[in-house]
Structure 1
Amino acid sequence: MRCLTFCCLIALSALPVHGQEVNDSLYRVWQDTGLPDTARAKALDRHFDAFEYVDRDSALRIADELIRFCEVRDYVQGVAWGQNDRGLALYHLGELETAAAAFGSALEIQTGIGNKKGISAVLNNLGMVYLAQGDRPRALDLYIQSLKMDEALGDSLGVAGSHLNIGVIFLEMGDSEQALAYFLPGLEMMERLGNPRGIAFLTNSIGSVYSGQGDYATSLGYYQRSLRILEEHNPNGMAPMLNNVGSMFLKLGELDSAFAYLERSRVLSDEMADLSTATHSRIYLGQLALARHDPRLGVDHCSTALEMGRSQGAWMYQQGACDCLYRAYKALGDHGRALTYHELEVAYTDSLSNEKNTKKITELEMQYGFEKKEAAAQAEQEKKDAVAAQELRRQKLVRNGFMGGFALVAVFAGIFLTQRNRIGKEKARSEELLL
């Protein structure tokens, strides 16, 4: 299913993980009016992270409070933080258009103050919105811009996050080889950084590669590893991984295990107002109902999923829900409705995978690869030029040393000749006196 990998996307600002003690400390800093406003704003921005995957409504209120606080004090960097946080909360709530507007405001501010790290993070987050809307070329363009900026800044965490999100695009297109070319280096970076959430998401994404290749047992192993990491480090963010584990049990025909994970994902995502994962869960529950020969229950789940997907403007979920409804109505013998949903599913699939989009994505990837090779060649040439310049300086030193030595010899020779001539003259004078 095409939307399987959508759950692997990650906002770069979501990678840090804070414990409860740290979050309490951040909130105390925010409330301390004796501290500088900049410190209080930064604390509230970091405090937002504790709510992003737990309570999206509270996260949105925190973001709006941060924006108001910083606007009154004309602290533009803080306003940018707040707008970025607001975009993330809205993204998780499925309000993609308003999320894009918030990210756009953050990007405008970060660009105006020249904060390259901030620009990179917002570009990445804005790319997530466009990908959810089915605009893969635009998403990839933003991801590559973010990746290049992070590479220039030496930001390993940002580079790893961009590798994850770019890989997801290629995975959705069915290019598992290119997806792994991004996932594997990204995973190595996250492991070096010791970032458990990043490790979990990239491990999950590699599992999606094996799923796409039909190796469901291997995929399940990666998904379960990812889930174990999040259960330990970020239990409130594990609903997407529960989904993916459940989907593999469904593929393997272990329907009771599939239901246990998918229902747990649905409940958790509903509690957290995670609309995208909640939609995804219902599509899989609809597929599970079909596998259990209960097409009416399949219609219930997938009709709800379709409405949720439409409310988000997320084509991937609408495509998945329509495919489920087509098969459900076909099983019920309602061929008219089955045909309607089949045509819708084909239309959504074509919109996601049309030739123009594929060509644009290929062009963007080739351009990035060319620029990377060109930068590497330039760096190699600069290295050669530096070696040549060093050799030239050495030769000049040798030449100057030789010339200096020659000059010194000439000086000593001149002194010697002068001294010898003086001695010769004095000797001649002495001989004349003796005569």
Structure 2
Amino acid sequence: MNRFLVVILLLFGVHQIHGQDDYFEIWQDETQTDSARAKAYYTYLYLNYMFDDPDSTIILVENLKAFAKKNNDTYSIGLGQFLKANSYYFSGDYINALKFGEEALKTFEQHTDKLKLSQTLSLIGEIYSDQGDNVKALDYIKRSSKIAEEIDNTIQRVNTITLIGNIYFNQEDYGNALSYYKQSLELTKNDTISLDYSNSLFSIGSTYMREGDYSAALEYFNKSEVIYRELGEQVGLSNILYEKGNVYAEQEKFNIALEFYKESLKVDEEYEIYYNAMIKYLGIGQLYKRMSQFREARDFCTQSLELSEEFGILSIEEESCECLYEAYKNLGNLSKAVEFNDRYKALKESLSEEQTVLKLQQMEFSKQVEADSLKQVEIDLRKQIAFDRDLNRKDRNKNIAIGIGLLFLIISGAYYSRYRYTKKSKNIIENEKERSENLLLNILPAEIAEELKEKGKADARNFDTVSMLFTDFKGFTQVSEKLSAEDLLAELNICFKAFDLICTKYNIEKIKTIGDAYMAAGGLPVPEDISVKNTVLAALEMQAFITDRIAEKKNNNDLYFEMRLGIHTGPVVAGIVGVKKFQYDIWGDTVNTAARMESSGEVGKVNISEDTYQLIKDDKDFTFEHRGMIKAKGKGEINMYFVSKSTF
């Protein structure tokens, strides 16, 4: 629900000088001025109850109302009305939300508080937007935006402009949506490492994607991803990766899409963002279904179904059952297929009934507004939907959010994550420690990182049998001259990320990248008997990835890179270089010889040395082509072989 965006922006409009408990202490401190106490209590309710427990906010705000009435403080009464309006909005009670919103609006007009006036107009606009009255919604939000511009409040201006863009986006008027999102980007350009700026980039990218301009979409997604990573915003990062996957899925580049989907899911699982993970499981399952890999589709859609049942999201549950029906049908398990088909049909009917109830609410809401008889219609509506609300309030609110669109789930999720982080500030030290450790593990092998933490240093070590792998793109300089810097980096990123995943799969240690060259090693920091074979398997899979990538590029008439790859096995010394920016590196003649294996190879092939060949020559999984003695720079002639996977 895009409402989260507004509330968090309002929340961060309050200067958080104090912790949440501090605000409650100010409220109880009778030595403070009445105005300070009222504002502190307002902030306390906003921070502690607005998101998690809006019903309690409605009750507790009566304390503020009574206090304000006692002191004849009409402004604080307005703050209470504003809290109630937001709380009823979160609860799905649009009639009371509008009632208290309009009362707050009158109060803030009398007190000429233009910021609160702008925020209240935005709220009322969103109420109308959720009820499908986009004309009134735009009227209120544009009035809000104009006031925000008058008082030069950038946060509120960005908020209102984004809301206007969202309305046009929901109407599939992508031209107008793009215009407003770009205005939001312009307003935030002075702080390019900010959540606002990154979200604006994301919104623009999503709009381009809906228009089918995939190149532009990826351009903005890539920029947004960099900022999310720098800010450590895991929800935003997860969803930007997922949207990038959607771009490739739309183009039927399924293997690339799958990589981004799984990377996105990995973030959700690592940071326990289960609501988002539910959507990713479903997306991956549906992608596998499109790829006719029905076992994998079954496994992922089963996980999305379990989470959708836990969260009570009927729309995701419906799609998961449909996915499982198709999967089991194609796997030949007809009894399971029938079971999930029946569930799918029942859920579809339930959702249809729910939409009917929602439309009735919208009709009654419109009638209520026109008749200006809020109280009577509220009673009528409550009678009509009492049973549905008691049993399905959570379902309805969340399904409205799903209906509005994944884009706003992503944007709101990012802000909500930020809020939750603030609310749980007591965990900051632990989180930062974990984050630092993750960063350390990202640049050093786990064993070396542990040694470094324990001893403050890591000793260099000798390894007798390490398989060094080198890759290099042929004609990289010539091709790169024809690409923009962004396209060049994007292509390298795609290739190297794929190589990273392959190294992880085969337990190969990535050492570093040098320009367009990629360097990895098998057999360290923990020696394994199978490391030589795994290094060769990883090399073959890397070449297979590049071959597939070339085919895709050729189909699109795009420029592409061809790759040479070489492996040599022998002794090395490994350790940490430097004292400020740690780097795990390796030295020895083995490294130089492996580099010669690469430079003496051929594109699309895996070239190995005699030493590597001797260690795997009896392995039935490989076939070899003896190349003879090949002259290598600085090494003389070396016996070399091309290796490939056996076809039997």
Equivalences for 1:120-135 in 2 at 5 Å?
120-132=118-130
Match of 1:109 in 2: 104
1:211–1:219 contact (8 Å) kept in structure 2: no
Match of 1:118 in 2: 116
Output the amino acid matched with 1:202: S
Counterpart Cα distance in 2 of 1:281 and 1:121: 32
Tell me, yes or no, if structure 1 residue 56 matches structure 2 residue 57: no
Match of 1:393 in 2: none
Larger Rg: 1
Q: Which of the residues 291, 297, 303 maps onto 1:293?
A: 297
Percentage identity across paired residues of the two chains: 19
Match of 2:468 in 1: none
Q: SS in structure 1 opposite 2:13?
A: coil
Output the amino acid matched with 1:72: F
Match of 1:139 in 2: 137
Match of 2:29 in 1: 32
How far 1:42 sits from its partner (Å)? 1.6
1:183–1:206 contact (8 Å) kept in structure 2: yes
1:70–1:79 contact (8 Å) kept in structure 2: yes
CA spacing shift, 1:70–1:125, aligned 2, 3 Å: same
Match of 1:190 in 2: 188
Question: How many residues are matched?
Answer: 320
How far 1:182 sits from its partner (Å)? 0.5
Counterpart Cα distance in 1 of 2:183 and 2:5: 16
Output the amino acid matched with 1:111: K
Equivalences for 1:157-196 in 2 at 5 Å?
157-192=155-190, 196=194
Output the amino acid matched with 2:32: L
Counterpart Cα distance in 2 of 1:197 and 1:48: 25
Counterpart Cα distance in 2 of 1:165 and 1:180: 12
How far 1:122 sits from its partner (Å)? 1.6
Counterpart Cα distance in 1 of 2:161 and 2:209: 19
Q: SS in structure 2 opposite 1:293?
A: helix
Match of 1:253 in 2: 258
Q: Which moved more, 1:164-173 or 1:202-211?
A: 202-211
Output the amino acid matched with 1:147: S
CA spacing shift, 1:27–1:224, aligned 2, 3 Å: farther
Counterpart Cα distance in 1 of 2:348 and 2:102: 39
Output the amino acid matched with 1:10: V
1:143–1:165 contact (8 Å) kept in structure 2: yes
Counterpart Cα distance in 1 of 2:193 and 2:98: 25
Q: SS in structure 2 opposite 1:253?
A: helix
How far 1:184 sits from its partner (Å)? 1.4
Equivalences for 1:321-332 in 2 at 5 Å?
322-332=318-328
Match of 2:91 in 1: 95
Q: Which moved more, 1:203-212 or 1:30-39?
A: 203-212
2:168–2:174 contact (8 Å) kept in structure 1: yes
Output the amino acid matched with 2:137: A
Q: Which of the residues 234, 237, 242 maps onto 2:238?
A: 242
Output the amino acid matched with 2:36: A
Query: Relative contact order (C-alpha < 8 Å, sep 6+): which is higher?
Result: 1
How far 1:186 sits from its partner (Å)? 1.6
Output the amino acid matched with 1:257: E
How far 1:226 sits from its partner (Å)? 5.1
| Cα deviation code 1:145-171 (max 9, x no counterpart) | 322443455544332211111111222
CA spacing shift, 1:349–1:72, aligned 2, 3 Å: closer
2:101–2:124 contact (8 Å) kept in structure 1: no
TM-score by length of 1: 0.58
Counterpart Cα distance in 1 of 2:148 and 2:283: 40
CA RMSD, aligned part only? Answer: 4.4
Q: SS in structure 1 opposite 2:93?
A: helix
Instruction: Give unmatched runs, 5+ long, in structure 2.
Output: 250-256, 289-295, 329-336, 359-648
Counterpart Cα distance in 1 of 2:86 and 2:182: 26
Counterpart Cα distance in 1 of 2:172 and 2:208: 11
| Cα deviation code 1:179-204 (max 9, x no counterpart) | 12101112222344899443343233
Instruction: Give unmatched runs, 5+ long, in structure 1.
Output: 271-277, 310-317, 353-435
Counterpart Cα distance in 2 of 1:248 and 1:34: 55
Output the amino acid matched with 1:41: A
CA spacing shift, 1:129–1:109, aligned 2, 3 Å: closer
Match of 1:14 in 2: 11
CA spacing shift, 1:206–1:90, aligned 2, 3 Å: farther
Q: SS in structure 2 opposite 1:73?
A: helix
